[in-house]
Amino acid sequence: MFSLKKEFGEKEKKFDRKKFVQILSISAVVGFLFAAAVRIWFVFPFVPETEEMSPSLPKGKRIYISRFVRDSSLFLGDVVLVEHPTQKGKVALVRIMGKSGDQISIKDKVLYRNGISEAQEKSDFNLQYKDARPAFSGTYSSRDNLSNLTVEDRNYFLLCDNRDDCVDSRDFGPLPFEKILGKVL
């Protein structure tokens, strides 16, 4: 049936090193371009420089941020990277604690969303308060005691996990969707 012998006049095939190197180099270039495109347009690494999200995302731990974020793909508890609204050129890593239509209030450092405290809701993240200071009075600052606030359409109420060491929606209010740069994977 099959003959493994060389027929008369047939050349023995040799390993073509030049073609192999050419294919290998083209594959490496295509792979590099694909990886660069993924990093530029889809996912990028980020290293938190502060303790704002400790202990869930500690300072110095590399995380990956997805650039593909739609309003419908954001849920309560998601951690997002946002343009800092008060400091130009800075970003903040924060957790979504309120979405469009939610009623938000804070009483003695406890967040209430639609009348339910965050302690009553089951969550997969830990809150941490580093300093033992009591809550600020409402006359001094609304940071620890915030009266009822309704989150507008396509806006998000964002809080850090380490609330005593950060600047978040308690300071600058809910942020619009357009300020969200990405979502932590």
Express each pLDDT in 3-34 by its tens digit: 555 566 566 667 788 888 999 999 999 999 99
Q: Are 48 and 60 in contact (CB under 8 A)?
A: yes
pTM score of the predicted model: 0.74
What share of the chain in percent tops pLDDT 90? 28
Is residue 177's pLDDT more than 60? yes
Q: Where are the domains of the chain?
A: 16-44, 47-184
Is residue 163's pLDDT more than 90? no
Class of 47-184 per CATH?
Answer: mainly beta
Q: Are 79 and 66 in contact (CB under 8 A)?
A: no
Q: State the Cα–Cα distance between residues 146 and 110, nearest whole angstrom.
A: 10
Q: State the Cα–Cα distance between residues 49 and 145, nearest whole angstrom.
A: 28
pLDDT in tens, 111-144: 888 888 877 777 766 666 555 666 665 555 667 7
Q: State the Cα–Cα distance between residues 150 and 147, nearest whole angstrom.
A: 10
Q: Are 105 and 147 in contact (CB under 8 A)?
A: yes
